[in-house]
Structure 1
Amino acid sequence: MSLYQPEPVEISTRMRPGEWTEESLAELVSTYRMRIEEMGAPAAEVATDIERNDDGSVQVIVSWTKPAIAGEEGSVPGGQPL
């Protein structure tokens, strides 16, 4: 018997002042969200946190906390029965 252990998925980065613009920040967030969605995350479950610091730096975190039960009841990822 195999137990499904949900592991959160997170992509994050920090950028110093002058290393980013509003346009590049939006593109980066979009890319991170797309990567997590490619891992199976529904768009509604992808969280984005952008922290803008007083010094002009920024921290970006895009994450997906997987649900406790994946897929259909009685199966594990990949559709294999329990």
Structure 2
Amino acid sequence: MSLYQPEPVEISTRMRPGEWTERTLEALIASYRDKLQAMGATAAEIDVVTHRDDRGGVSVVATWIKSDDETAP
């Protein structure tokens, strides 16, 4: 029996205007990448999408796109 689950793993957040700067946003994205890699993701399997809204807020979604094959790198 295997515990492998091919579903994507996602880490996300939304921040309002004034809650973030470009520097803290970069640090947050790096920390999400680090967390996913600590779980076993390779850099190529990580997708990060950043969306800035019209009022100055930002949302970040970091996703580990897992392969359907548990033996894949």
> Aligned pair count?
72
**Cα deviation code 1:28-65 (max 9, x no counterpart):** 00000000011110101100000000000000000012
Gapped runs of 5+ residues in structure 2?
none
What amino acid maps onto 1:59 in structure 2?
S
Partner of 2:52: 52
Identical positions, percent: 54
What amino acid maps onto 2:32 in structure 1?
Y
TM-score, structure 2 length as denominator?
0.90
CA root-mean-square deviation: 1.6
Q: Matches of 1:30 and 1:2 in 2, distance apart? A: 30
TM-score, structure 1 length as denominator?
0.81
Q: Which of the pair has the greater relative contact order for Cα pairs under 8 Å at 6+ separation?
A: 2
Partner of 1:23: 23
- For residue 7 of structure 1, report the CA deviation from its aligned partner: 1.7
- Higher gyration radius (CA): 1
Structure 1 ranges of 4+ moved more than 6 A: none
Q: Counterpart of 1:40 in 2: which secondary structure?
A: coil
Instruction: Give the direction of change, closer, same or farther, for the CA distance of 1:45–1:2 in structure 2 (3 Å limit).
Output: closer
Instruction: Give the direction of change, closer, same or farther, for the CA distance of 1:13–1:3 in structure 2 (3 Å limit).
Output: closer
Is the 1:4–1:69 Cα contact (8 Å) retained in structure 2? no
